[in-house]
Amino acid sequence: GENVEQHPSTLSVQEGDSAVIKCTYSDSASNYFPWYKQELGKGPQLIIDIRSNVGEKKDQRIAVTLNKTAKHFSLHITETQPEDSAVYFCAASYTGGYQKVTFGTGTKLQVIP
Amino acid sequence: DGGITQSPKYLFRKEGQNVTLSCEQNLNHDAMYWYRQDPGQGLRLIYYSQIVNDFQKGDIAEGYSVSREKKESFPLTVTSAQKNPTAFYLCASSRITGGGTDTQYFGPGTRLTVL
């Protein structure tokens, strides 16, 4: 089955700096890669996703890149703000049938004011 | 507002008791899911359902049961057979399009503590 590894497990950045979180996946059939943000005591919220037919996607300060050959994808947050502090999860799945989503173990991001 | 609601937010259970966690969605999604989250870990799939009156076991179904009598509702029962039920439980739902399922959206979660 699919295996998703996520690094780093914790990340501290100064406000205004950039943050990068990296994930690798094992199943070449995976074609959908969402990223979720989870604040303390709340459910994960989808912040951006990418499908395997594109290499990069941006939404304001957030971007995701995908390298299918190397089987890795990354989340980039620019101009970080204290409200970006949360746990971020990457995930991978195949959407051709039932979508079993495999999640990474999460990255706790702390933005220091 | 469209969304997924879970209740209660906090639940306390004595050992040997069964408890039921509620999950309701008004997004008109066909598929619904239950995940368990332990501190510092990712999400593990307990059960999922793609259609009313049908559901499938996920990776950690032992000690849990579900029902799907209505499209909007997917309650999870944590039975006394679940040896370590203290965790954060998340319900999710998604559309089914073109033969496959779409993005999963999550509810706010229920924190279950066994006393």
How far, in Å, CA of A41 to CA of A35, rounded?
A: 18
Q: Which of B31, B27, B24, B42 is nearest to B88 (CA)?
A: B42
How far, in Å, CA of B35 to CA of B88, rounded?
A: 8
What pLDDT is recorded for position A45?
96
Q: Which of B101, B49, B103 is nearest to A45 (CA)?
A: B103
What pLDDT is recorded for position B55?
95
User: Which whole-number Å values give the CA distances from B72 to B28, B32, B53, in the listed order?
Assistant: 7, 9, 12
Residues of A in contact with B102 (CB under 8 A): 95, 99
What pLDDT is recorded for position A2?
87
The two three-digit tokens of residue B7, written as one number:
């209740």
pLDDT band of B92, cuts 50, 70, 90: very high
How far, in Å, CA of A1 to CA of A89, rounded?
A: 19
Kindly identify which residue of chain B lies nearest to residue A34, measuring between CA atoms.
B103
The arithmetic mean of pLDDT across residues B17-27, rounded, is: 95
| Per-residue pLDDT tens over the stretch A51-97 | 988 899 999 999 999 999 999 999 999 999 999 999 999 999 887 76
CB neighbourhood size of A72 (10 A): 16
The arithmetic mean of pLDDT across residues B67-95, rounded, is: 95
CB contact under 8 A, A44 and B50: no
CB contact under 8 A, A95 and B94: no
CB contact under 8 A, A106 and B105: no
CB contact under 8 A, B100 and A95: yes
Residues of A in contact with B30 (CB under 8 A): none
CB contact under 8 A, B50 and A98: yes
Residues of A in contact with B104 (CB under 8 A): 34, 99, 101
In this predicted structure, the answer to whether residue B1 has a pLDDT above a threshold of 60 is no
